[in-house]
Amino acid sequence: MKRVFFITVVALSLVACGGGTKPEKPQEKQLNISILLDLSDRISPSINPDAQKHDIENIKTITEFFKSNTERLGAYKAKGKIRIFLNPPPANADINSIVSKLIIDCSGGIEKKDYRKEVYKTISDLYTQNLEEVYQQTISTSAWKGSDIWGFFKNNVKDFCIDKDTNYRNILIIFTDGYLYDDKNNPIYDKNRFANIPPKKLANYRTNNWQTKIQQDDFGFKTEVSGLNNLEILVLGVKAENSAHIFDASILTFLLENWFNEMNVSNYKICPFDLPANTKTRIENFLNQK
């Protein structure tokens, strides 16, 4: 009698708990990763001799994460996308040709199965080898025009970095020192808001009360875009141009945060320049968010 009573209690408990079935895990989203490279004098060997090495090692962390996502979803289901952007596009046709090799698009049906397998096997080496060539050619010409990150947001980010398919997780990863682009020939500004903030524009804010002064002056980036709630942004490498300017990295981080908030970016993280081993942890922590 006790045995019958025990079985009855267990059966009722299972019914009350939904028949004992475990809730399904949410399906992992496809990846749509865009990498925007700042190829300004930030990568000059005389200014930052380890920039090329660090960038490429950090990008390998990104491609390895892309591979792990492909593996988890499987050769049939994985439809990830990843590519490199340079803005403005380089005049050097060879660099444009190299960058075009780094456009990876696994979307599509069963016909993409072998393509996905090939991407899985080769993506990290493909990116490493071709980016080494991009950096070497850029450095050899020493034509430091800069990286128009502000213009990329104004003109391109919605078209290039946000997939309309809601099954994708849209991630933009920016490699920059944080000063963005100094377009001397076409400055864009509105009162105390600018399209570019080179080191000289920070001169009035290198004080202990820099945050208060910035807020009082409404100093920062001019916001032209909004509604980026379907975009996640990771910024890597923020660094003072001159080590004597001890506030610059904090100021640039603060200005970028304000800018992203005004554009309604859903999720962002701004990281200082660091050794690749430390940056690897930051990249993985950001990408592993669900």
Residue 118 lies in a domain: yes
Residue 273 lies in a domain: yes
Residue 1 lies in a domain: no
SS3 95: helix
Q: What is the CATH number of the domain that holds 240?
A: 3.40.50
Model confidence pLDDT, tens digit, residues 22-53: 555 667 899 999 999 999 889 999 888 999 99
C-alpha span between 237 and 56 (Å, rounded)? 12
Contact of 77 with 113, CB cutoff 8 Å: no
Provide the residue type at 201 as one letter.
K
Model confidence pLDDT, tens digit, residues 122-167: 999 999 999 999 999 988 887 677 789 999 999 999 999 999 999 9
Residue 173 lies in a domain: yes
Does 68 score more than 90 pLDDT? yes
C-alpha span between 287 and 190 (Å, rounded)? 35
C-alpha span between 207 and 289 (Å, rounded)? 36
Domain hosting 239: range is 29-187+225-287
Confidence of residue 107 (pLDDT cuts 50, 70, 90): very high
Domains identified in the chain, total number: 1
- For 213, left (φ over 0), alpha (ψ -120 to 50), or beta? alpha
pTM score, two decimals?
A: 0.89
Residue 23 lies in a domain: no
Neighbours of 230 (CB within 10 A): 18
